[in-house]
Amino acid sequence: MSKSATFVMVATVALVLITHNLAVGVVVGVLVASVLFVPRVAHFATVSRSVSGSVARYVVNGELFIASSNDLTTCSRTRTTLSRS
């Protein structure tokens, strides 16, 4: 079992035991699991760029996720800035 899964399980059980309320434990467990999930899937997409004259073509391979949009904008801005210099 991974460290993040173990942490989610321990946090959920601890909250259930402290509050005596299963709903609180489950809600917090889901929130903690989603926070730990985002960094793992943030870099599943790769971006390649090809330039033909004045047209730049970007090809995105992989799964897009909300967290991977930052990589797309960073790649686009960095390459555009470098090519203008």
Q: Rounded mean pLDDT of the chain?
A: 80
Place of tokens 């989603």: 34
The per-residue pLDDT for range 19-52, each reduced to its tens digit, is 999 999 999 999 999 888 877 776 777 777 788 8
Domain count, the chain: 2
Cβ atoms within 10 Å, residue 37: 14
pTM of the model: 0.57
CA distances from 60 to 13, 14, 56, 69 (A): 40, 42, 13, 11
Report the range of poorest mean pLDDT among 25-29, 52-56, 63-67, 75-79.
75-79
34 shares a domain with 16 = yes
50 shares a domain with 37 = no
Domain span holding position 74: 46-84
56 shares a domain with 36 = no
56 shares a domain with 33 = no
37 shares a domain with 9 = yes
- What integer pLDDT is reported at residue 85 of this predicted model? 47
36 shares a domain with 53 = no
35 shares a domain with 7 = yes
